[in-house]
């Protein structure tokens, strides 16, 4: 039987016929009719078990906004896949929580799947952007495709073993040099007092993101004066890794690795286990978001409720040039976009926005972030205190809030715009206060990424090749696998593989978007 037997041809014929026939079907045909005007369809990520549509919380929310809610809760781990399939079907919900920078969304939005909300939000008091920088960050090449969900604008900090500092007679660091001294002391001066040299300073995990994704490396580079992602040099925007400050910062860190001041498995430690070496007393420093401090406090408390205040938090540091540069956050996480599937006219859009406006009002924000006052929590000063947690119905409300409905908030998140949870002990309370103090202080010297909202076509097209060049080179350099010359060669490789085009596009698009 040869490859070209009659059978093969028959197969090919059948296949072609099927292909031809099916080619006419499938895809964007008539996409649904008018929306039921008293129902709002929503899609949002879910972090636990899905709420009951007839549950108390949903009832309360529906009552507040005066409409029925039909929410499709999607497990967060598969949100991307589900979003893509949803975009291909003709069942796009009215309101969709979405990563506005994801290429599928951008393509869909630019093709007309979602409303361009630029300038439209100002007349809704609760939807109007409250922070200009964040609003800018959440745009896509100058256009606003969604209402951003607010998060703290700055969260970076250093968590340090307070008891180790005390034992070694050290003070909290102010500069990068201080940090180095502390790390060296942690590694060499036996801070846990067990007579063995088994401790190190900094704990870094395998970072799941690429360059400029708030990794400890990015934070350190910022301290040294490098830009955050993109920065202006000589009137043009350049990538942050193409600066002498970037190289200096990494040279410094490389020294750390060489001297054993960093955990030996920094290239492979699973970030889900980041706390472990800290709690086990192997390392004494973590550079990450401030909430890790309270997380660690809780872990220590679990280990020994009598003596757990072993954690202190420090803000961003002054670099070798004596200046402080702070690493900010984007200020938001995903946006709520409005699809044109059922919302076809400006009037309908206005309706939906009004509904959302109600949802994000002060009362709505409390419902979404805390729950039903008097049922699952009560107010104590500025705090929310959990109530009736043994009642299964109340537990259901709490679960609905924490794992689901809080995802619908744009105006409030934990600690912002609604009641914060009352801390369980003095140490936590003091720590939380510190968050705000440090944040406000550090925001004064925040280094924002001016190109955060820019989506360069070449960056999208060649991302799979380009995105990993710099982070990989950085790790290899830090671990000693390559030299600084080779690191510079990798940077050049980035440029040669398409980076040059990206730089040009970013500059052009940025100018167009009003820089």
Among 116, 373, 402, 425, binds another protein (CB under 8 A): 402
Q: How far apart are alpha carbons 204 and 311 in whole angstroms?
A: 17
Site for another protein in 340-369 (CB under 8 A): none
Pick from 59, 64, 133, 151 the residue near another protein by CB under 8 A.
Answer: 151
Task: Decide whether 60 or 291 has the Cβ nearer to another protein.
Answer: 291
Residue among 258, 324, 309, 186 nearest 481 (CA):
258
Selected binder of another protein within 59, 62, 104, 251 (CB under 8 A)? 104
Taking CB under 8 A as the criterion, which residues in 184-213 touch another protein? Answer: 206-210, 213
Nearer to another protein, 168 or 475 (CB): 475
Asked if 81 interacts with another protein (CB under 8 A), we say yes
In angstroms, rounded to a whole number, what is the distance separating the alpha carbons of residues 230 and 23?
44
Among 168, 260, 463, 488, interactor with another protein by CB under 8 A: 463
From the list 137-145, 166-174, 344-352, 392-400, the region that binds another protein by CB under 8 A is: 392-400
Pairing of strands 156-161, 236-239: unpaired
The answer to the question of residue 224 lying near another protein (CB under 8 A) is no
Touching another protein, residues 1-40 (CB under 8 A): 1, 3, 5-8, 10-11, 14-15, 18-19, 22-29
406 binds another protein (CB under 8 A): yes
403 near another protein, rule: CB under 8 A: yes
> Which structure tokens are listed for 366?
């409390």
- Choosing from 42, 69, 113, 314, the residue that interacts with another protein (CB under 8 A) is 113
In sign, the C-alpha dihedral spanning 20, 21, 25, 27 is negative
Between residues 178 and 309, which has the closer beta carbon with respect to another protein? 309
Using the minimum distance from each CB to another protein, give the nearer residue, 299 or 387: 299
d(CA 368, CA 64): 11
Please answer whether residues 210 and 467 qualify as being in contact, where contact means their C-beta atoms are separated by less than 8 angstroms: yes
Q: How many CB atoms lie within 10 A of CB 169?
A: 8
Does 484 sit near another protein (CB under 8 A)?
no
Q: Is 322 exposed, middle or buried (0-12, 13-18, 19+ CB in 10 A)?
A: exposed
Tell me whether residue 39 or residue 323 sits nearer to another protein (CB atom). Answer: 39
Considering only residues 251 through 310, tell me which ones interact with another protein, judged by CB under 8 A.
263-265, 267-268, 270-273, 275-276, 279-280, 282, 288-289, 291, 294, 299, 302-303
3-state SS record for 375-402: CCEEEECCEEEECCCCCHHHHHHHHHHH
Beta-sheet pairing, 156-161 with 283-289 = antiparallel
* Beta carbon of residue 86, minimum distance to another protein (angstroms, whole number): 8
Give 170 or 420: the residue with its C-beta nearer to another protein: 420
Q: How far, in Å, CA of 500 to CA of 506, rounded?
A: 10
Residue 373 Cβ vs another protein, minimum distance, rounded to whole Å:
17
In the sheet that holds 383-386, the strands lie side by side as 377-380, 383-386, 420-421
What's the DSSP call for residue 324? Answer: B
Minimum distance from CB of 12 to another protein (Å)?
A: 10
- The kind and range of the H/E element at 426 are helix 426-443
Residue 479, interface with another protein (CB under 8 A)?
Answer: yes
Question: Which C-beta is closer to another protein: that of 25 or that of 347?
Answer: 25
Residues 6 or more apart in contact with residue 440 via CB below 8 angstroms: none
Contact 245, 221 (CB under 8 A): yes
Number of residues interacting with another protein: please give it, by CB under 8 A. Answer: 109
CB closer to another protein out of 131 and 330: 330
Min CB(420)–another protein separation in Å: 9
Q: How far is the CB of 367 from another protein (least distance, A)?
A: 15
Name the 3-class secondary structure at 200: strand
Among residue numbers 56 through 75, which ones bind another protein (CB under 8 A)? 72-73, 75
Residue pair 480/258 in contact (Cβ under 8 Å)? The answer is yes
The least CB distance from residue 291 to another protein, in Å, is 5
Is 480 a binding residue for another protein by CB under 8 A? The answer is no
């Amino acid at each position: 039987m040869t490859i070209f037997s009659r059978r093969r041809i028959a197969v090919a014929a059948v296949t072609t016929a099927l292909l031809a026939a099916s080619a006419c079907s499938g895809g964007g045909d008539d996409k649904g009719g008018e929306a039921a005007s008293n129902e709002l369809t929503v899609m949002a990520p879910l972090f636990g078990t899905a709420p009951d549509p007839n549950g108390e919380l949903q009832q309360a929310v529906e009552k507040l906004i005066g409409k029925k809610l039909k929410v499709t809760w999607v497990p967060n781990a598969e949100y991307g896949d589900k979003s893509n399939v949803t975009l291909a079907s003709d069942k796009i919900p009215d309101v969709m929580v979405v990563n506005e920078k994801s290429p599928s969304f951008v393509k869909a939005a630019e093709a007309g799947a979602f409303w361009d909300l630029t300038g439209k939000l100002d007349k809704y008091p609760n939807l109007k952007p409250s922070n200009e920088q964040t609003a800018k960050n959440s745009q896509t090449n100058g256009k606003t495709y969604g209402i951003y969900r607010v998060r703290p604008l700055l969260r970076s900090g250093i968590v340090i073993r307070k008891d180790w500092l005390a034992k070694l007679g050290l003070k909290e660091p102010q500069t990068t040099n201080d940090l180095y001294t502390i790390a060296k002391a942690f590694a060499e001066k036996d801070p846990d007092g067990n007579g063995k040299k088994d401790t190190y300073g900094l704990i870094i995990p395998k970072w799941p993101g690429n360059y400029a994704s708030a990794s400890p490396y990015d934070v350190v580079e910022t301290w040294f004066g490098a830009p955050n992602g993109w920065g202006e040099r000589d009137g043009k925007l350049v990538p942050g890794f193409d600066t002498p400050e970037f190289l200096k910062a990494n040279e410094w860190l490389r020294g750390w690795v060489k001297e054993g001041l960093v955990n030996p498995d920094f290239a492979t430690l699973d970030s889900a286990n980041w706390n472990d070496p800290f709690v086990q007393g192997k390392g004494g420093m973590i550079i990450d978001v401030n909430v890790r401090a309270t997380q660690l406090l809780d872990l220590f408390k679990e280990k020994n409720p009598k003596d757990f205040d072993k954690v202190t938090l420090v803000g961003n540091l002054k670099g070798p040039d004596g200046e402080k540069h702070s690493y900010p956050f984007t200020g938001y996480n995903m946006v709520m976009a409005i699809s044109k599937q059922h919302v076809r006219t400006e009037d309908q859009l206005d309706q939906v926005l009004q509904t959302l406006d109600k949802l994000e009002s002060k009362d709505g924000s409390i419902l979404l972030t805390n729950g039903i006052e008097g049922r699952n929590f009560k107010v104590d000063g500025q705090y929310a205190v959990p109530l009736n947690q043994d009642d299964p119905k109340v537990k259901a409300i709490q679960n609905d809030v924490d794992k689901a409905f809080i995802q619908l908030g744009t105006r409030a998140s934990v600690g912002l715009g609604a009641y914060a949870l009352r801390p369980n002990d003095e140490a936590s309370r003091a720590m939380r206060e510190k968050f705000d103090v440090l944040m406000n202080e550090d925001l004064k010297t925040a280094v924002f990424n001016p190109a955060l909202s820019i989506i360069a076509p070449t960056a999208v097209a060649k991302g799979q090749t380009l995105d990993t060049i710099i982070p990989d080179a950085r790790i290899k350099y830090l671990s000693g696998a390559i030299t600084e010359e080779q690191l510079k060669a990798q940077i050049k490789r980035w440029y040669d593989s398409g980076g040059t085009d990206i730089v040009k596009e970013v500059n052009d698009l940025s100018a167009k978007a009003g820089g």
